[in-house]
Amino acid sequence: MSSTPLGGEREKLVSKLPASLRQALKIRAAQLQTDVQDAVTAGIQSWRAAGPDLPTINTAGAESFGTNLPEGLYDEFKTDCRERGVSYIQGLAQAVALWLTDSQPPGQPRVTRRIVVCNQKGGVGKTAVAGGVAQALAEDPASVTNATDEDIAAPADVETALEAAERATQAGLRVLLVDFDPQGHLSHQLGLKAIPAGQESLITHMLNREQTKHELIDLTVVVAGDRFGGRLRILPAAFDAFLLDSGLTVFRGPRHAALERALATVEEHVDVIVIDSPPSLGLAMDTALYYARQRDDEKPGNSGLLVPVEAEDTSAQAYGMLIQQIDSLSRDFDIHIEQLGLVVNKFDSRRGYIATSSRDKWIALGNPPVLAVVVDLKEQREAVRLQKPLLDYAPESAQAHQMRKIARGMRTS
């Protein structure tokens, strides 16, 4: 494949582009003080170099769009589109999305995403969702093959287009799983033991950081699996996490920020932190909720809460209690804690009207959205028994694809 230079004569490109992408293109070009034609040229060059395995972008409602390209590039672009079996409109949309991904406005700080998986009701599958979503974020996108049409639904706007392009050009994100539940189920499911009481752990770094000898990142463990390429790590549970609430009551300092104080030291090493939180409404949960708040320099939708629920009435009651805790903490500290979405987990339609009507009520909430309805299947239980990550044990299972769908659904808005 040849590479057309940016200089020299130009020729007209006439195609169509979704309004959302066209608007984002103009805004980003203005931010970077570059011409739209140069931005599109760079995008097409990146598109040609990226290869054919790019996610499909929803081009419904695309409108006429024209710009100028270096002489010869338009013909090369059209030839590539024919060889890849995509329309010119689709190819251009993918190219623009790639350029938007590659270009960042000046002065925009990098903020590590913080996703807290929580519900004070036990047994709703927080651990399975936390582990599965973290695996999906760290997974090499090139290794995903047999997704269904529903699983790979085309992105509907510019932000999902950006994420689609990111998934195509990145080899997965650097993800840290934090087992913040004193029961340690997440650690056990991945073949690890909880850190014994008295040894350095997340808890000692929260309550007695000045007395610790190691960096917190050194306490993390790489999760095995070729699909993750060493990008997925876990901070194991600590046995003395059972005593965290009582320790926080006598903590000298802002106890609501104790978790953030500890995890701040690892943020530079990772792109995303996913926390499997305890099934409680105590002080430890306060620290997790506070950590998930939207920071002053952070875009909405970057960080927040992911809430697994079940399709039954007691789960709705527990969710109401969580909302009260979120509202109370938000008022006390004048912060915004965003709910990124709900996951209706372990769904079984054979349970009849209670299950189906409860599922429909969750979906009808609208905000926060239901990101996925995860059916109760055997692969997750088998992965737990074998102490393997679900996406490594059964990467093409329906549950694995649903975890990827959840990860895609938590988009930056």
Find the range with the poorest average confidence among 36-40, 265-269, 349-353, 383-387. Answer: 349-353
Specify whether the CB–CB gap between 272 and 175 falls below 8 A: yes
The DSSP output letter for 238 is B
Strand, coil or helix: what is 368? coil
Q: Which of 28 and 383 is assigned the larger pLDDT?
A: 383
pLDDT on residue 38: 93
Residue 272 three-state SS: strand
Checking if the pLDDT of 5 tops 50, the result is no
Task: Report pLDDT digits (tens) over 344-369.
Answer: 988 877 778 878 888 888 888 888 99
With cut-offs at 50, 70 and 90, classify the pLDDT of residue 8.
low
pLDDT digits (tens, 9 = 90+) for 126-161: 999 999 999 999 997 666 665 443 443 334 445 455
* Alpha carbon 220 to its chain's center: 20
Q: How many Cβ atoms are within 10 Å of 275's Cβ, its own excluded?
A: 30
Model pLDDT, residue 1? 44
According to DSSP, the residues that pair with 304 across neighbouring strands are: 115
Q: Which CATH number fits domain 113-409: 3.40.50.1820, 3.40.50.300, 3.40.50.720, 3.50.50.60?
A: 3.40.50.300
Distance between CA 336 and CA 347 in Å, rounded? 30
Residue 106 pLDDT: 63
Taking residues 210-237, report their average pLDDT: 91
For residues 308 and 341, what is the distance between their CA atoms, to the nearest angstrom? 9
What pLDDT, in 10s, does the model give residues 262-281? 999 999 899 999 999 988 88
Least confident of 13-17, 58-62, 404-408: 58-62
Among 43-47, 105-109, 323-327, 399-403, name the one with the lowest average pLDDT.
105-109
Give me the chain's average pLDDT, please: 85
Q: Tens digits of per-residue pLDDT, 171-205?
A: 478 999 999 999 999 999 999 999 998 899 999 99
Q: H helices then E strands: how many in the chain?
A: 16, 10
Going from N- to C-terminal start, the domains of the chain cover 10-102, 113-409
pLDDT at residue 241, rounded to an integer: 85
Mean pLDDT of 83-106: 87
Average pLDDT over residues 89-110: 81
Q: By the 8 A CB rule, do 391 and 403 touch?
A: yes
The pLDDT of residue 362: 84
- Which pLDDT tens digit goes with each residue over 301-313? 889 999 998 877 7
Provide the residue type at 398 as one letter: A
pLDDT of residue 109: 63
Residue 260 has pLDDT above 60, yes or no: yes
Tokens of 317: 């009651």
Percent of the chain with pLDDT over 70: 88
Cβ of 144: how many Cβ atoms within 10 Å? Answer: 20
269 DSSP 8-state letter: G
